[in-house]
Amino acid sequence: MAKKFCSWYMCSPYEASKGVGKGKMIENTVKISGRLHFIEGVQEQISRMGKYVAFSVRQDTPWEDGSIRHDFLLMRAFDSDIKEWLRDKEEGTPVRIEGKIRSSAGSGEMYVQVEKIEKITIC
């Protein structure tokens, strides 16, 4: 039987662990909302994927005991239109983001590669 190869969207985690489609990248698409955080000093950084702006999205999640968990999700914006959009936004602006979960090739740090961002209204 010929060895089965698959593209990133067809491999199950089990197939990937067995080397099926070896060398292919598996990506996960996410949609999150929260408030912009740590955008005051918007500066470009460089990775092997190109220049990007790093920032966070703060999510405040109520727990059953009444406390609030504060999560700070790391983002990287490579798209020039998104980087420009971020430049005139204020800390705490409510946003919805679509992107892909990635990890840095150097540090292994997890982040969302931002593909779409929009300001939202929180009721």
Between 65 and 19, the higher pLDDT residue: 65
Give the pairing type, strands 110-119 and 68-77.
parallel
Q: What is the pLDDT of residues 103-119, one digit of tens each?
A: 887 777 899 999 999 99
pTM (2 d.p.): 0.71
How far apart (Å, rounded) are the C-alpha atoms in residues 49 and 68? 35
The answer on pLDDT for 1 being more than 90 is: no
Q: Say which amino acid occupies 51.
A: K
Contacts of 28 (CB under 8 A, 6+ apart): 100, 101
Residue 61: count of CB within 10 angstroms of its CB:
10
Sorting pLDDT into bands at 50, 70 and 90, what band is 28? confident
Q: How far is CA 32 from CA 6, 29, 37, 120, in A?
A: 28, 10, 14, 12
pLDDT digits (tens, 9 = 90+) for 41-87: 567 888 777 899 999 999 999 999 999 999 999 999 999 999 999 98
